[in-house]
Structure 1
């Protein structure tokens, strides 16, 4: 059975990953704000779909702390690259999302 997660935690995760991909595309691929290249749009749609069907639902940790990585290897490498680039810049461009993400990582510390 496929879950359809759309609670507040999953929605915040979707907003965070969307922002990170958008920031990456804007800075690395030189696309205007709120416009994604095909590669980044494909990654974003994949990430959103994975969040929607996440087996952990509203108890989800951040992907970094997740015990079961659900991304295909090629997408996993792409999203890691995006997050390494965008993560540190989030404090400048969207501090609220950045602080929420950092808090969640600390909360689920192993």
Structure 2
């Protein structure tokens, strides 16, 4: 997978997770301002990542490019929405996990 395709796939996964989180935590049909801000921030971080070719997950990266506040927010999103991804987007989650696992070896 090329870096550009990997970036787009990561953005897609993050967007789905943030939308799921917002829907179930903030009970909004559309992304609230806080979640929209987090999504834009995450996409900017993904676009600027110099390790895209070799990285697995941001949490296992040696360089943390998220601010402490945003890192805390994204951890909460991942924690609360990852299990929903199993039911709503299992193939996408599986592809994401396998892609990242292959790069980790």
Instruction: Give the TM-score normalised by structure 2.
Output: 0.88
Structure 2, unaligned runs of 5 or more: none
- Residue aligning to 1:60: 55
- Residue aligning to 1:22: 19
Determine the C-alpha separation between the residues in 2 that align with 1:105 and 1:87: 15
Task: Give aligned pairs, total.
Answer: 102
Structure that is richer in helix per residue: 2
Determine the C-alpha separation between the residues in 2 that align with 1:52 and 1:13: 10
Instruction: Give the TM-score normalised by structure 1.
Output: 0.84
Root-mean-square deviation (Å): 1.6
Structure 1, unaligned runs of 5 or more: 1-5
Per-residue CA deviations over 1:39-89 (Å, capped at 9, x if unaligned) read: 000000000000011111333322122221110000000000000011111
Are the counterparts in 1 of residues 55 and 100 from structure 2 also a CA contact under 8 Å?
Answer: no
